[in-house]
Structure 1
Amino acid sequence: MELPGLLSVLIGTLGLLGTCVAGIIPRVSFSMGTPGRSLGKFNGSDISNTTTLLLSDDGQTLFVGARDSVLALNVSKDDVIVMSKLDWSPSEVAMKDCSMKGKEKADCHNFIRVLQFLNSTHIYACGTFAYSPRCAYIKSEPFFLLTTPSGRTEEGRGRCPYDPYQRNSAITVDGELYTATVADYMGNRPVISRYLSQGAHIDLKLDDTLGWLEDPTFISSSFVPSDEKIYFFFSELGREYDFIEKFTVSRIAQVCTSDVGGQRTLQRRWTTFAKAQLLCKSDNELPYNIIQDIVTLLPPDGTPVDDTLFFGIFTSQWSVNSGRSAVCAFRLGDIKDVFAGNYKVLNRDTLRWSTRVQEKVANPGECGLHNASDNTLRFVKENFLADDSVHPVGRRLTMVSPDQHYSHLAAQRVQASNGQNYTVLFLLTESGYLHKAVLLRNGMHIIEEVQVFQQPQPVKNILLSISKGVVFVGLSDGVLRVPTSNCSYYRSCPQCVLARDPFCAWDRLNKECALAISIQDKAGQDVDSGNVQEACASPMMPRSRFVPIKGNTDSYSPGELVSVSLNEVVQLQCPEASRLAKRHWEGPSSSLSPDVYLELEDGSLRFLLTPDTEGQYFCISTENNFQQNLAVYQVTEKSSPTQKATSPAVTPTRPQSRSLPPTTRAGTRRQLTPPLMVPKPIEPEPTTLPGQTRATTRHVSRNFTFWAEPAGESKDEETLLLKQGKTYLQELVVVSVLLASSVVVLLTTALYSVRQRCRKRTMPQASSLRRESDRSSECDPLQVGQSPRSNGKRNGLAAPNGQGNGAVCNVTPKGSNGHLPNTPI
């Protein structure tokens, strides 16, 4: 990317890049152990870090580089894996020396990081070997390790990393090893080298000249035979962008296999090394600049080699794209055009890059420069960074995932039943799922996701075997085998077509979903549009009020009978055929009023059974403009009264609320009996057959039973009661009024008693009382409730007979003993 262009992107879109990226949802999801997706796994108690994979040409043997061992797995059979094992571990002395250098003991083992075929009979393997890399030859048949007569192996420095967590790349061409790794203990000397050279070739490595490699992380490498070039993919610091500190860029570098170095300049050094930037971005957006993995997809037969595609996974160092992964595809022809263009030059004095304006002396990266003059080689030595960047195909992203972080991928070209080729990607997420996606004209469609591991895996790898039709996943504790197709999972023609899987098509003769290449007659398949009406052979019936019985598309059932009592809550479950489909319910009145029915997020339906809600209910799925019935229920009222359970712990005269039958939701319910209530005996939980849907009912009574329910369930039921008018509002108002009246009476009595006691304490003398008694026309407000005959009054309290209401006037005051004040009895 040009400097002004990047500046404009950074300034203009850094704060406005929050582009709305629609989530790409897998159509079907299989958790680990699901019967619908069979997986095969090989593991052992003494086997770990099985992350380096190598498949034989015939696809019958999978060689695995693990910790302290190399494995040979016979994968010729689908139901069994036979293992041969070679132990290759460091000595106790080497382990002790590694620990003394400050390394963790767990990292001082021999982690196999290079595993490549040298020829049809031998394999070349290299391991970290307690932070002292070693390499050895392995004979593939019979399987054993070759060493020197002294029992030692070869030095592995520059061929294998020291650190088991350091990424590297290796590839063999004509028995020669091309590697990209670090050549020192500290990991500060990155090198791209050739070893095991034969004939006129000599071992080469990259010159240590400043700027050739800037703290790279090597990812992958690929060989293009027609060009005799090897391409290396890595990410490094982009020093040409000096206005940003530590700006990471993705690179592609090339060397020619015919290179033998210069005669005087660049002796034993690459003369054909050149690199360019891989720009995974769309217009007016920040780039996804950190490459995670990249694979090569060869073009179809009969097409130019320049149509070779490189699919890569990229992440971003910008916080605005944090957590996202992008997939970009780069065409070989575009890469060659960039390397054939202009190059930047580095000013050694200012360490600033600029575009060369003087005459081009040579074309950097061109094969055959080893015989060039010293002047030409010096030009090549200083001009190795291409001025232009490699843009993705169509200058757009193949896919952006806003919620998945992909780490590895594999690619395959599949021919559909109509003869058209489709690209299928297998993407491994860091959360433990393998996504199978197909590239369509209008974007990417994720056919399914399969869970391949549950615990986080620090190092992993995947390898595609087209001949076996499987994807091998190298985990930390074993190797997993995932079939690339799962056609038998789809039981009907609509489901087979809606999957839009180029591997699968509907076999009209055998009435099954099978591999498209195995179907002789015209197959039912529509990968681009998923049009069921046109792809399925028989005329599609209009939406029926019946649901097909599982496994038999010619038989129909009127639906499952659900019999409950009146005014009970009914819950009808609806299975999920696809995560891309929308489900809705239809009942006796076709459309269901939201005032009466609740459609929950899991697709189930809740309502109270009344005479108006009896009838037949249908759960209908709509996907890609095609509708089908997923479940049918016939809801009726029970004909016989519910039998009451008897128990010695339950008082017969005390009615008990009916317990709620179990539902199909995960989790258990616990009944909590409040104080002063007799607990109801726990009824045995009925079992549910596979594929059977249970109806949830609840009997509403005047007793209160408390349940520990899933969140939102009680609220939904209360809402249903309100919708049907089944409330206790009137009873609640009456009880509240009575309670308030009682509280008022008690408070009034208490206040009156307190007031009387205070009055006695402040009672005036007899003379004063006599003067007050003369006021016969006045009333004493404190004498409320007294009567002339209230001689039985004590301490201001009314007589037991309860007589005497209202204010009493002209009453002769008396003491607490019933006589006049200060008058002896």
Structure 2
Amino acid sequence: MAPSVVFLLLGLLGSASSLPPPRISFLLNSADRPLVLFSLPNVHNTTTLLLSNDGSTLYVGARDALLSLDVSQSDVINLKKKVDWRPSEEEMTSCSDKGKDAEVDCPNFVRVLQPLNSTHLYACGSYAYSPHDAYIDTESFSMINQRDGAKGRCPFSPFQRNTALTVDGELFTATTSDFRGAKPQISRHFSRGRSDVSQDVSVSLLEEPSFVSSALDPSDRKLYFFFSEVGKEFSFVDQLLISRVAQVCKDDMGGQRTLQKKWTSFAKAPLLCRSAKQLPFNVLQDVFTLQPLEGSMDSDTLFYGVFTSQWSLGPESAVCVFRLQDMRTAFAGRYRTFDTQTHQWSPMLDKRSYLGKCGLDNVSDSVLAEVKKSFLTSNSIKPDGLGPIVVSSEYRYSRVAVMRTQAANNKHYTVLLGSSTKWFCLTGAQVVEEIQVFTQPQLVKSVVLSTSKGVLYVGTSEGITAVPVARCSIYRSCSQCVLARDPLCGWSRTTRACTGLQEGDHDDMAQDLEHANVEEQCQGQTEPGRDREISVHLNEAVQLPCLKPSNVATLSWTSPRIKDHTEKLFIQSADGVLSFFATADTFGTYHCEAEEGGYKEVIVSYDVRQVAPPRAMSPIPDTESHPPIGRDESYEDIVTNASERSTTRASAEPEGIITSKAGDFTTFVKEVDPDKDSTLKTDSEDEKADAPTSIHDVQFRKEQPDDLQTLTKEKSYHTELVVVSLLLTTCICILIFGGLHMWRHRKLGLKTNVLESPGDDSRINQSMESVPSLSSPEDPELKVVE
């Protein structure tokens, strides 16, 4: 699994270590961590994002469309207007005829969307493998000019990465400029008062680059392009990828004779992101530029890069931070020179001051000839802290965004937000939270951060997702708010709630990002919890749930019962549930404690009690056979009517009556006032007696007289014996009579032969049993013949 993740970097990591597990995880559509999703049925590949200066409008470049979205409210995204921008049927056919897939390659994928001025946007799309560009009026969001011939401004292929930046109305791009995508170019377009400038093609300045980002250095008037490419300065059997940064001067005019309309200021330097004694993370995935604090120098600008390794078999990645000052130093240092005969790089013995400098438009041809072959620095740019600030062996990050915030101690902390393919989370010295953003894993293509609203907009092939950077209300106690160590959240001692930090006085806020000292920050802010009463029956299986407040907390159960008895009576599962059987040894109180960062707190408490079961009461014989119970004994009245109540159903019993079966009798128990006569009543009195109105009106006798219990048991056994004896006697009688009947029937069957009279041989004995005639009386001809 490769989750998409957002990080929170507190600036506490001096050296890289394996990224710890997230403190809190939220699944998709969690009620505690809601997200805002936007998508249209027929719009896909919403991967080019641009946020307006006021943060109220999000412009989106998609497949065959441009969108203007209203994001003025942080909890909703509304469509303001959509502009269709698709190739014609003829252009689609022409693209297919060139061997490209009509559905995958030939639509118009918008790859560049930049503000040209205060009223217009510039857009460029692949447009059926024939790049087109257009101007967009931001007021009406309509396309006012569409042109072809945008080669070198955006790639032909929708799958090649590119970057673009507009400065003072001029467009700077880094992309490929041919149909095959084999000719990389860094160019300046729409130049004002001067010629457009592109890359010299006589030498290979770039080797199969993959551009990821670009940035402006306003004080030095330089632009930086970040990319990965094949490193030709090393001789390896396999191609070695190297992360680099290239620079050009914004006002580069090109040379007079040499390098006409070509960059004279182009130079590139390796970016090194490596842990000690480890292979480097050599493939650059994304770079975010963090501007310095107000009042600070431009040299304090930071570049946060996401790196992966070409040798890694798993989803490894790292985040390294580079300072602008270190980049300036590298480009002002020594260079390597390229031998066009041997195609080998060799370090220059001395430093050439003009290499990497601006304003070389009037220098000699010999200087420019040296510039053409000496554009690779000798020294690599090392990260701040000499290593990664975050290393993950589980997630392959793809995008990054960074913001600063001021904590309650008035110190500034950096919030790092990174993304992979399925999840989002916040991290620092610990991963503060992890949020599932997508149902299925998909690659995050673009992220835009609105620092004013605290929302991160994520662009994918399916739509736009707005992820709030923080949701402090999920921490419902002071301890959890402090333990989260989220620089965007603090516990308000006045409102007793975890809220976002606002500008101004933070004395009321409880927050400790370095040590998470709950005892110090939450004095007087903790409230004791109440025990939850659990009523169970004897020998019933009991399960007491306890939810972990965070993924890094450990749970433990405490109770006098656990202490006094063997722990074999209790089982604690991995999810914190305590299981046991309800016995006399296990009834009592139980407390679930969570420990995190050395601090313990009770999460939930239970008071397990036994349900008072109704005792099975036996019928009492009438008063004629047995003397009544004395008046001074406060027993309950037990009224029995065996002939009538033995057929009464439980469903027909009055409310509040507790019944229990005893042999063939149903015994009704009701409360008797101890101040009244407790003598047994007669049957006539029973019929007039009122039933109790609730289960609380029932009292149970602690003991019964021995002679009464014995008599009850004897009567019950006698009745059963009589019934069984009667049934047995009946069965025996049936067997005897059945046997006699069968014997008589067999004996009579032997007399079916004709019996003759001894006195007259010619006559049939009239004493023979008559045989039913087979003829009717009207048929005299039918006779019995001897």
Query: Is the contact made by 1:508 and 1:537 (CA closer than 8 Å) also made in structure 2?
Result: no
Instruction: Tell me which amino acid in the other structure corresponds to 1:69.
Output: A
Q: Quick one: structure 1 residues 112 and 459, their matched pair in 2 at CA, closer, same or farther if it must change by over 3 Å?
A: farther
Query: Displacement of 1:202 after TM fit?
Result: 1.4
Structure 1: distance between partners of 2:207 and 2:266:
15
Sequence identity (%): 46
Conserved? CA contact 2:494–2:508, under 8 Å: no
Counterpart of 1:580 in structure 2: which amino acid? Answer: V
Instruction: Please say if residues 176 and 195 of structure 1, whose CA atoms lie closer than 8 Å, have aligned partners that are also in contact.
Output: yes
Q: Which 5+ residue runs of structure 2 have no aligned equivalent?
A: 1-14, 617-648, 652-786
Match of 2:742 in 1: none
1:46 aligns with 2:42: yes
Which residue is 1:528 aligned to?
514
Distance 1:616 1:316, change over 3 A: same
1:598 aligned residue = 571
Which secondary structure state, in structure 2, belongs to the residue aligned with residue 261 of structure 1?
A: coil
Determine the C-alpha separation between the residues in 1 that align with 2:102 and 2:602: 60
Alignment-derived partner of residue 324 in structure 2 = 332
Using CA pairs below 8 Å that are at least 6 residues apart, which structure has the higher relative contact order? 2
Q: Is the partner of 1:618 in helix, strand or coil?
A: strand
- Residue 246 (structure 1) aligned with residue 266 (structure 2): no
> Distance between the aligned counterparts of 2:246 and 2:314, measured in 1?
27
Check the 8 A contact 1:471/1:484 in 2, yes or no.
yes
**Could you say which residue in structure 2 is the equivalent of 1:454?**
439
The structure number with the bigger radius of gyration is 2
Supply the AA of the counterpart residue of 1:269: K
Residue 377 (structure 2) pairs with residue 404 (structure 1) = no
Whole-Å separation in 2 of the counterparts to 1:206 and 1:445:
44
Which whole-Å CA distance do the structure 2 matches of 1:269 and 1:146 have between them?
31
**RMSD in angstroms over aligned alpha carbons?**
2.2
- Alignment pair present for 1:579 and 2:557: no
Q: Quick check: 1:157 aligned with 2:151?
A: yes
Q: In the TM superposition, what is the alpha-carbon distance from 1:314 to its structure 2 partner? A: 0.4
Which of residues 343, 356, 363 is equivalent to 1:372?
Answer: 363
How much does 1:129 deviate? 0.5
Give the 3-state SS of the residue equivalent to 1:406 in structure 2.
coil
Does the alignment pair 1:73 with 2:69?
A: yes
Instruction: Report Cα offsets for 1:164-213 as digits up to 9, x if no partner.
Output: 111100000000110011111111101111111112x2111111133310
Task: After TM superposition, list the pairs within 5 Å mapping 1:255-270 onto structure 2.
Answer: 255-270=248-263
State which of 112, 125, 128 in structure 2 corresponds to 1:127.
125
- Once the two structures are superposed, the pairs formed by residues 46-445 of structure 1 within 5 Å of their partners are 46-83=42-79, 84-107=81-104, 108-147=106-145, 152-199=146-193, 201-319=194-312, 322-357=314-349, 359-430=350-421, 432-438=422-428, 444-445=429-430
Q: Contact between 1:177 and 1:194, CA under 8 Å: does it hold in 2?
A: yes
Paired letter, 2:124: C
Match of 1:636 in 2: 609
TM-superposed CA distance for 1:579, in Å, is 0.8
Shift of 1:371: 1.6
Q: CA deviation at 1:512?
A: 1.2
Instruction: Map 1:709-788; keep pairs closer than 5 Å.
Output: none
Aligned to 2:467: 482
Give the direction of change, closer, same or farther, for the CA distance of 1:278–1:624 in structure 2 (3 Å limit): same
Query: Structure 2 vs 1, CA of residues 165 and 641 (structure 1 numbering), >3 Å: closer, same or farther?
Result: farther
- How many pairs does the alignment contain? 602
Deviations 1:575-625 (CA, angstroms, capped at 9, x unpaired): 121111111111224548543322211111222333222211111101112
Give SS of 1:337's match: helix
> Distance between the aligned counterparts of 1:103 and 1:80, measured in 2?
39
The letter for the 2-side match of 1:497 is V
Query: TM-score by structure 2 length?
Result: 0.74
After superposition, the Cα gap between the structure-2 partners of 1:562 and 1:288, relative to the gap in structure 1 and judged at 3 Å, is: farther
Give the letter aligned to residue 221 of structure 1: S
**How far 1:479 sits from its partner (Å)?**
0.9
Displacement of 1:518 in angstroms is 5.5
Q: In the aligned structure 1, how far is the partner of 2:20 from the partner of 2:202?
A: 45
Q: CA deviation at 1:537?
A: 4.5
Partner amino acid, structure 2, of 1:169: T
For 1:527-676, list aligned pairs within 5 A. 527-538=513-524, 553=527, 556-566=529-539, 568-589=540-561, 591=563, 593-640=566-613
For structure 1, list consecutive stretches of 5 or more residues without a partner in the other structure. Answer: 1-18, 439-443, 541-552, 648-825
Q: What CA distance in whole angstroms lies between the structure 2 residues aligned with 1:572 and 1:342?
A: 69
CA–CA distance in 1 between the matches of 2:242 and 2:566? 57
Secondary structure of the equivalent of 1:322?
A: coil
Conserved in 2, the CA contact under 8 Å of 1:343 and 1:386? Answer: yes
Give, in angstroms, the shift of residue 304 of structure 1. Answer: 2.4
Residues 314 and 326, structure 1, Cα contact 8 Å, conserved in 2: yes
Assess if the C-alpha contact under 8 Å between 2:420 and 2:443 holds in 1. Answer: no
What SS does structure 1 have at the residue aligned with 2:515? Answer: coil
- Contact preservation (8 Å) 1:49, 1:459: no
1:37 maps to a residue whose letter is: R
**Distance in structure 1 (CA, Å) of the matches to 2:139 and 2:103:** 32
Structure 2 letter corresponding to 1:405: R
**Residue type of the partner of 1:75?**
V
Counterpart of 1:684?
Answer: none
Q: Quick one: which amino acid aligns to residue 271 of structure 1?
A: T
User: 2-side partners of 1:456 and 1:128: how far apart?
Assistant: 26
Task: Note the alpha carbon deviations across 1:523-580, whole angstroms, 9 max, x for none.
Answer: 111111111111225276xxxxxxxxxxxx4x742224141331x3322211121111
Give the C-alpha shift of residue 302 in structure 1: 2.6
Q: Which amino acid aligns with 2:545?
A: Q
CA distance in 2, matches of 1:26, 1:192: 40
